[in-house]
Structure 1
Amino acid sequence: MSITAGQLAEQIGARVLGDESLELDGVAKIEEAGPREVTFVANPAYRKYLAKTRAGAVILAGEPREGGT
């Protein structure tokens, strides 16, 4: 079963920065996620992976920094 980034954001009370129609069909660690998977970053130590992740979507705890990271 897949869900769009927009649908996921609506369900969790988040906002999408990017393509709301992106289809997601899995969840993975930020270091392992692929283009159709979503990942979650709560610990600031993992933000270093944001520039390299292949995840289709990333759920960030708190507000994104300048430049979307």
Structure 2
Amino acid sequence: GAERRFLFKHKRTGEKVELLLEHGSLLLMKDVTQSHWLHHLPIAKRIRQPHISLTFRTIADAGKTPAGHSAK
């Protein structure tokens, strides 16, 4: 897809970080990135090429194992 700017803002300090995601890029966010930073793709009106964003999430359910069986 199109090359895009990706922005992070630290929730506590307000520090800002910008990345340039090129065609074929993969950005993996986990652990402290998710809990301490806000993130978004800013609107880019001049970009006419499409981009694809996929999100994969792991949702933990208290009292259950990852396979979905009750913990003993």
What TM-score results when the alignment is normalised by the length of structure 2? Answer: 0.24
Larger Rg: 2
Structure number having the greater helix percentage: 1
By relative contact order (CA 8 Å, sep 6+), the higher-ranking structure is: 2
